[in-house]
Amino acid sequence: MDKVIKRAKKVEGELRVPSDKSISHRSIILTSLANGVSTVKNFLKAGDTLTTMKVYRQLGVKIEEKDDVIYVHGVNLHGYKEPDDVLDMGNSGTTTRLTLGLLAGQRFFTVLTGDESLRNRPMKRVLNPLKQMKAHVDGRQIGEYLPIAIRGTKLRGIEFLNEKASAQVKSAILIAGLFAERTTTVIEPVLSRNHTENMLKAMGADIKYEQSAGGHKFSIKGGKELKPIDIDVPADPSSAAFFAAAAVLLPDSHLILKDVLVNPTRDGFFRKLKEMGANIEYKNHREQAGEPIADIEVFYSPNLKGIEITKEEIPSMVDEIPLLALIATQAEGETRITGASELRVKESDRIKAVVLNLRALGVEVEELPDGMVIKGKQTIKGGIVDSFKDHRIAMGFSIIGLIAEKPVTIKDADCIFISYPQFYEHLEQVVEFK
Q: Is 239 in the site for ligand S3P (CB under 6 A)?
A: no
The answer to whether 38 and 228 are in contact (CB under 8 A) is yes
Positions in 108-167 near ligand S3P (CB under 6 A): 166-167
Q: Which of 130, 146, 318, 328 binds ligand S3P (CB under 6 A)?
A: 318
Q: Are 148 and 127 in contact (CB under 8 A)?
A: yes
- Smallest separation (angstroms) from ligand S3P to the CB of 171: 6
Q: How many other CB atoms sit within 10 Å of the CB of residue 211? A: 9
- The CB-side HSE value for 226 (13 A sphere, CA atoms) comes to 32
Cβ closest to ligand S3P, residue 10 vs residue 346: 346
- Answer for the pair 34, 226: CB distance below 8 angstroms, yes or no: yes
Phi and psi, residue 88, nearest 5°: -95, 110
Residue 159: name the closest of 184, 181, 135 by CA. 184
CA dist., res. 409 & res. 197, Å (int): 41
- Beta carbon of residue 312, minimum distance to ligand S3P (angstroms, whole number): 14
Per-residue binding letters, 187-226, with ligand S3P (x by CB under 6 A): ------x---------------------------------
As measured in angstroms, the least distance from the Cβ of 162 to ligand S3P is 9
Catalytic residue numbers read 319
393 binds ligand S3P (CB under 6 A): no
| Beta carbon of residue 420, minimum distance to ligand S3P (angstroms, whole number) | 13
Cβ proximity to ligand S3P, 29 vs 249, nearer residue: 29
| Binders of ligand S3P in range 331-360 (CB under 6 A) | 342
Burial-class residue 375 by CB neighbours within 10 Å (0-12, 13-18, 19+): middle
316 touching ligand S3P, by CB under 6 A: no
Task: Say whether residue 431 binds ligand S3P (CB under 6 A).
Answer: no
Interaction between residue 27 and ligand S3P (CB under 6 A): no
For ligand S3P, the closer of residues 168 and 335 by Cβ is 168
User: Binding residues for ligand S3P, how many (CB under 6 A)?
Assistant: 10
**Binding marks (x or -) toward ligand S3P, 72..111, rule CB under 6 A?**
----------------------x-----------------
Q: By the 8 A CB rule, do 337 and 371 touch? A: yes
Helix (H, G, I), strand (E, B) or coil at 216: strand
Answer yes or no whether residue 415 interacts with ligand S3P by CB under 6 A. no
Nearer to ligand S3P (CB atom), residue 171 or residue 398? 171
Residues 6+ apart with CB under 8 A from 432: 8, 9, 10, 11, 12
Q: Is 273 helix (H, G, I), strand (E, B) or coil?
A: helix
C-alpha span between 186 and 219 (Å, rounded): 6
Residue numbers of the site for ligand S3P (CB under 6 A)? 22, 94, 166-168, 171, 193, 318-319, 342
